[in-house]
Amino acid sequence: MPDLLMIGGATPAMMERLEAAFTIHRLADTDLGAVGDKITHVATNGHDGVKPEIMASLPNLKMISCYGVGYDAIDTVEANKRGVMVTHTPNVLNAEVATTAVLLMLACYREVLRDDAYVRSGQWEKQGNAPLTRSADDQIVGILGLGRIGQAIADKLAPWGTKILYHSRSKKDVSYTYYDNLTNMARDADVLICITPGGPSTNKIVNAEVIEALGPEGTLINVSRGSVVDETALIDALQSGKLGWAGLDVFEAEPHVPEALSNLPNTVLLPHVGSGTVETRAAMGALTVDNLLQHLENGTVKTPVPECQ
């Protein structure tokens, strides 16, 4: 059986199918100096990716299958140069990540964490009704990255009477208002939702200027990559009142989250669970394995990353 290097975890359903087709080497238990030249396939995820030194120790690598849509932790330029196919799991997680974005937005507007604490601490009984919150209906939402997931977010927000603005590299054939300048969009929006890929072209694209343009009544939602937002500028703006609220599923140095963010009352923080439901992870896992098995069978794949198409 061909040899597969496993970076990070996999579900039992994935393992069952992989073990039937490959000899599995788990990164933590493997001496790549000894077996690196046997490895032809890698299964990894968007967070761990494939570190350059690992890629360099696999001279006969043919394919990398990434469990996740974001693949900024994999050097696709180097992979292409070496003729290594890279796949990811687009589309099957669109609805779930969109749910997470809307969940964070609603949690910020309706102060879900504050009011939950109000009930649990007994304050409701002692002090009476909780302070009022803001309505999430009829807001203006700017989507940074109107791709597959961005569109799913716009669709999920439609019943809330939301007006959608968007910024991406290119204008799309949609009825929403396009902005070629992110700061200008942030100025006109109540909420900015980040859902671009990570990597150099989006690194800290949401900077102090964009955050301040969103303003004291504004809400920033990030379900893309921590690298997309300047976290230091974000903390400063949330502390000083230059930005109203932030709902974050991703952070610059995951799983480390700055204490300053955890200490703020105007944040809702999730541990990178945008696609993290049993159903969606099962679909992502199945596609990750489908790509590997199809590649073994006939050298083709279902969902190559754009650079490998």
Residues labelled catalytic: 225, 254, 272
Contact by Cβ (8 Å): 230, 182: no
Q: How far is the CB of 69 from ligand A2R (least distance, A)?
A: 5
Contact between 281 and ligand A2R per CB under 6 A: no
Stretch that binds ligand A2R, among 74-82, 113-121, 145-153, 285-293 (CB under 6 A): 145-153
User: What string marks each residue from 155 to 174 as x (binds ligand A2R by CB under 6 A) or -?
Assistant: -------------xxx----
Length of the chain counted residue by residue = 309
Considering only 42, 61, 192, 195, the residue that binds ligand A2R (CB under 6 A) is 195
Residue number of the CB atom closest to ligand A2R: 147
The rounded distance, in Å, linking the Cα atoms of 161 and 158 is: 6
Contact between 69 and ligand A2R per CB under 6 A: yes
Helix, strand, coil share (%) of the chain residues, nearest 5: 45, 20, 40
User: What string marks each residue from 238 to 277 as x (binds ligand A2R by CB under 6 A) or -?
Assistant: ------------------------------------x---
Contact between 201 and ligand A2R per CB under 6 A: yes
The rounded distance, in Å, linking the Cα atoms of 230 and 256 is: 15
In sequence order, the 6+-apart residues with CB closer than 8 A to the CB of 252 are 226, 227, 229, 231
Contact between 204 and ligand A2R per CB under 6 A: no
Contact between 198 and ligand A2R per CB under 6 A: yes
Strands 267-269, 85-87: pairing kind: unpaired
Considering only 36, 49, 70, 285, the residue that binds ligand A2R (CB under 6 A) is 70
b/e map 244-275, b = 16+ CB within 10 Å = bbbbbbbbbeeeebeeebeebebbbebebebb
Considering only 224, 227, 267, 288, the residue that binds ligand A2R (CB under 6 A) is 224
CA neighbor of 224 nearest in space, from 165, 298, 291, 150: 150
Considering only 150, 218, 244, 285, the residue that binds ligand A2R (CB under 6 A) is 150
Q: How far is the CB of 75 from ligand A2R (least distance, A)?
A: 15
Considering only 2, 147, 215, 276, the residue that binds ligand A2R (CB under 6 A) is 147
Specify the DSSP class assigned to residue 159: G
First-residue to last-residue Cα distance in the chain: 27
Contact between 284 and ligand A2R per CB under 6 A: no
The rounded distance, in Å, linking the Cα atoms of 221 and 139 is: 14
Closest CB to ligand A2R among 128 and 200? 200
Q: Kindly give the interhelix angle for 112-120 and 94-109, rounded to the nearest 10 degrees.
A: 60
Residues that bind ligand A2R (CB under 6 A): 69-70, 90, 97, 145-150, 168-170, 195-198, 201-202, 224-225, 274
